[in-house]
Amino acid sequence: MKYTNLSNLPKAIERAVENDPYESNADISTTRLIAPPRIRVLQKRNWDLITEDVSDKIFSLLGQSVHHVIERAKTRKEISEKRLFYKDDKITNGWTLSGAFDLLNRDGHLIDFKVTSAWSALSALEKGKPEWENQLNVLDFLASKNPKELVNYKTEIKVKRLSVMAILRDWSKVRVMTSDKYPKKQVAMIPIRKWTYEEQESYVKERIKIHQNAEKVSELPMCTATERWRREDKFAVMKSGRKSAMRLLDTREEAMQYLASQNMTIGKGCDIVERKGEDVRCQHYCNVNEFCSHYMKTSF
């Protein structure tokens, strides 16, 4: 992996990005386990050819900075920044799985700190966020396999509940006044569903199998629409003199029906504009897209 510094940011930022201490020597980390195998294998096969710009890693640096704050604040009653490992033949099929949790309180509350957008936190509060649920449950699985690592004052701490503390990087006080739903504070505690041990074991086993199989095939498993952060086509009902859409609908037919219900006619002060969907991750956030046949097929 090579880094460019196209914005000519200070060398200190360049070094901070390059000296990322969060990689482990395990066969697979929790972050990679829950991520699409296609991305992981393409990264592995093309590691020396991947290029990223340090300016695109700033949010990642901000996320990591929270870990230093927690380290500074912890007391002897808590365990923080603990990396755990697990390997066996039955669940991980010979691979070592690793994962680090941010904070475990003495009462068994495991908390992960995330720097994220306000809308992402809102969506997680309303509908849940599978990615966070998967990640925290894999960490809980690792905790259950490492009881000796979680001893505090001679007492083993057992994980009882899971949460994400979301720090909202783009939170705006003004928006609080314009939306009832918008988070009221720049930080939100989001409870995460704790699975049964059996659910965790079966998830880990299945994901390891998918990743191991992906390493052996030439035709890599496709990232799902959810993993590609697919945004479907939309049809916007636009009114003359107004910048934002009156309605965003999934099909042209629905948009036509909406116009009819409002006694409006295309060409008479209103129109229907198609907004093309896209795979947001593939187009903007996947650092192996140039090696991916799906991206090559869909981006031109």
* Interface contacts to ligand SF4, rule CB under 6 A: 36, 38-39, 42, 223, 228, 279, 281-282, 286, 288-289, 292, 294-295
Measured from the CB atom, is 118 or 286 closer to ligand SF4? 286
DSSP secondary structure, 162-196, as one string: EEEEEEETT--HHHHHH-SSS-SSSEEEEEEPPPP
Q: Distance between CA atoms of 92 and 201, rounded to whole angstroms?
A: 9
Rounded CA separation 291/42 (Å): 7
Least distance to ligand SF4 from the beta carbon of 224, Å?
9
Nearest residue to 97 (alpha-carbon basis) of 223, 212, 249: 212
Rounded to a whole number of angstroms, the minimum distance from the CB of residue 296 to ligand SF4 is 9
End-to-end CA distance of the chain: 25
Which letter does DSSP use for residue 93 in this model? T
Instruction: Report in angstroms how near the CB of residue 231 gets to ligand SF4 at its nearest.
Output: 13
The least CB distance from residue 54 to ligand SF4, in Å, is: 21
Q: How far is the CB of 33 from ligand SF4 (least distance, A)?
A: 16
Place of tokens 């900075």: 65
Give CA–CA dist 245/239, Å, rounded. 7
The residue among 169 and 294 lying less far from ligand SF4, judged by its C-beta, is: 294
Complex with ligand SF4: residue 238 or 292, whichever CB lies closer: 292
CB closer to ligand SF4, 37 vs 183 = 37
Residue with token string 């809308």:
119
Give the nearer residue to ligand SF4 in terms of CB position, either 38 or 129: 38
How does strand 97-104 pair with strand 79-86?
antiparallel
Residue 63 CB, shortest distance to ligand SF4, in Å, is 20
Decide whether 128 or 221 has the Cβ nearer to ligand SF4. Answer: 221
Phi then psi for residue 103, to 5 deg, are: -150, 135
- For residue 279, the tally of other CB atoms under 10 A from its CB is 21
